[in-house]
Chain A
Amino acid sequence: MSLGQEKRSQIGLIFCYTIIAIAIVAALYPAIWIVGSALNPSNSLYSSSLIPENASLKNFKDILTTKEYHYVKWYINSIKIGALNSFFAVLLTSLTAYVFSKTRFWGRKYGLMTFLVIQMFPGIMSMVAIYVLLNMFGLLDTHLGLLLVYLGGAVPFSTWMIKGYFDTIPSSLVEAAKIDGADRFRIFWQIMLPLAKPMLAVVAMMNFINPFNDFVMAALVLRSPEKQTLAVGLYNMINSQFNNDWTLFSAGAVLAAVPIMIVFLSMQRYYVHGLSAGATKG
């Protein structure tokens, strides 16, 4: 009896390891392949082995120095827009979230409903309007225009997430500080913000990665090649000349992905927690 059970659990364990091994191969294969093709000094996709024998860093050097593509500029643009968006989104939404979470005022309900309703509209819907408006104010093909679009879009979701986190901080803490004579801004700055650091970090990360990943708005607003972001630049690179520059694209893609991956993997625990907390809290 106990022997049979032992055997069964042994089989179960082997089964589990097999599944995990298959999943890991499937998950890593594209990543390893892109690294391999980035290391391939020839220019085509016709590489038979996963990691080429004559591997070299030539493609990385080329993508950073080529005159044909503004890769370095795209990189700087992406980082710049992402960082600015992340900073201002946290700045704008943390105070808003605090007010929505810890004060009761007329219109609060409508404000929260507005956030929810706005998120139900597809963002692509506003493309024409955004184009016309930015054109009116001369903000087409500028990073400022694109940043404004991202920031406006970041408000509902970010506010909602931070508010969800503030909701879990007991109101008695705020009351106590009030009795001690702290005004509301000080309560926000010195008590609530430090407590919400994990969530602020998640929101900051999301608001960095979203613009970094965004293709639609960036392609709409930014027209001149040297102003574009990585997403648009890399897309155009292989959409136009698929075979020729594949290995060059690979090097660019690897360089673009690595920093994001590191940040993301180190923070995914908080991220998942924040998302599920935000969702179950409503």
Chain B
Amino acid sequence: MRSETSTNVGVGSNQARNSAILSTVVMGLGQFLNGQYVKGAIFLLYYISFWFQSPSYFIENIKGLITLGSNPEVDHSIFMMIYGIVSVVLLLVAIGIHVFNIVDAYNNGKKIDNGEEVPSFKDSIKNMMEIGFPYIAISPGMIMLFIATIFPLIFSVLLAFTSYDLYHSPPAKLIEWVGFQNFRDIMTLSTWRMTFIKVFSWTVIWTISSTVSIFALGLFLAVVLNHKKIKGRNILRTILMIPWAIPAFVSMLIWRGLLNYNFGQVNKLLAIIGIDKIPWLEDIMWARISVLLVNLWLSFPFVMALCSGVLQSIPESLYEAAEVDGASVVQKFTGITLPLVLRQIAPLMIMQFAFQFNNFGIIYLLNNGNPPQFGYQGAGGTDILISWVYKLTMDKLKWNYAAAISILIFIVVAGFSIYQFRRTNSFKEEELS
């Protein structure tokens, strides 16, 4: 392109353009034109084998992804989807290699245009190792990530736009693409709509109240423990860490026993002080209080540990100065402690919102999302969106709706996360430059 300005205006003046065009048509030809025969041969060989082997295979599978089969019993829509996704991905990789080959031909052609020496095959390999190091080094992790996480995710996202449920499940039946019908159904069909609104609003209440309560209690205990005159602070702090240290599934199953209506320890203790049995897990309101309390028990140590770290880093001189000015305990807290702590832990608090929004473990292991609710589409009284998704998948076998609701969950969580990155800004400025 800039051959006019190059020193070697002659035979190779359009080398870059020409070799790029050649390589676009047939891989490797541009490299031949540039005199890189070994490299060209490798590209060409790859190209030939690709065209001999794959196109029909790719076209077949991608067609399958579009139609999802036409013969029940013969065509298995789910497998067709999987092969189709794999083919699309491989095709993208093949296109990537082709683009790389064009860019390579262009760059080397430019070198000739500029009158420079084209690197030998040995140099190319060396060069490749230098530039390729990051890619080679991250490939094991990235391949693992792709196979076990990204690929299933793509598949699940696609499911949200199909009719895949108990009544449309291969091999007996075909699956169809239905566009946004699942989303529309959840929002308009009366029982689904009602369930969605009820579950969603409880999820929001749950997320806010659980996060706020954890942070309030955690910060409060951290401040109390930070009192200068308390002896054995470290030991006390470690003891208070115990709820966090017990494997979560164990403590939730323990709480299940403690809160049992008939023989749970909590009701027995209440009986001692003359309070009637409380249906902790059976009544919808009490069940909701129970999950909030148990979650508080489970999670306050984390916040306490965080806040303790921050508190210890606040210089003592600040409080001394405040004391000289005659500030009360409350004033010291709201004027010094609270703003300093909040600034430090705000990003973690937002992360905690996102975590609690999807806190499947506590909801399911404590009470299976129960008590059951009449007329709800499979959701119980304490079910949040994510545990409802679990039940839709395992019990109701409405895989398409489960996927659609998962996408809605993703949108909410993504909202939290984007807000956080906007706020901290670290992502924009230094991390990605």
Chain A residues at the B interface, C-beta cutoff of 8 Å: 9, 12-13, 16-17, 19-20, 23-24, 26-28, 30-31, 33-34, 37, 44-46, 48, 92-93, 95-96, 98-100, 103, 105, 107-109, 111-112, 114, 116-118, 120-122, 124-130, 132-133, 136, 148-149, 151-153, 155-156, 159, 184-185, 209, 212-213, 215-216, 230-231, 234-235, 238, 242-243, 246, 249, 253, 256-257, 260-261, 264-265, 268, 272-273, 275-276, 279-282
Contact = CB atoms under 8 A, between A and B. Distances in A.
B144 interface: yes
Given A124-B386, A128-B399, A213 B248 contact: yes
B358 A148 contact: no
B155 interface: yes
A276 B306 CA distance: 7
A27 B297 CA distance: 7
B348 A275 contact: yes
A256 B360 CA distance: 21
18 contacts: A27-B243, A27-B297, A30-B255, A30-B258, A37-B257, A114-B150, A121-B413, A128-B155, A149-B148, A152-B147, A155-B141, A155-B149, A215-B364, A216-B390, A235-B249, A238-B253, A249-B253, A256-B247
Nearest to B430: A282
A150 B57 CA distance: 32
Interface string B358-389: 10110011000000000000000000001001
B258 A95 contact: no
Interface in B130-160: 131, 133-135, 137-138, 140-142, 144-145, 147-153, 155-156, 159
Given A256-B247, A280-B424, A120 B257 contact: no
B247 A209 contact: yes
B78 interface: yes
Nearest to A243: B263
Contact of B361 (A19, A215, A261): A215
A251 to B, nearest CB: 12
Contacts of A282: 421, 424, 426-427, 431
- Give me the 6 closest cross-chain CB pairs, A-B, nearest first: A152-B148, A282-B426, A129-B152, A125-B406, A96-B141, A126-B152
Given A120-B410, A261-B246, A279 B241 contact: no
B329 interface: yes
A215 B134 CA distance: 36
A133 to B, nearest CB: 6
A280 B344 contact: yes
Contacts of A215: 249, 361, 364-365
B402 A128 contact: yes
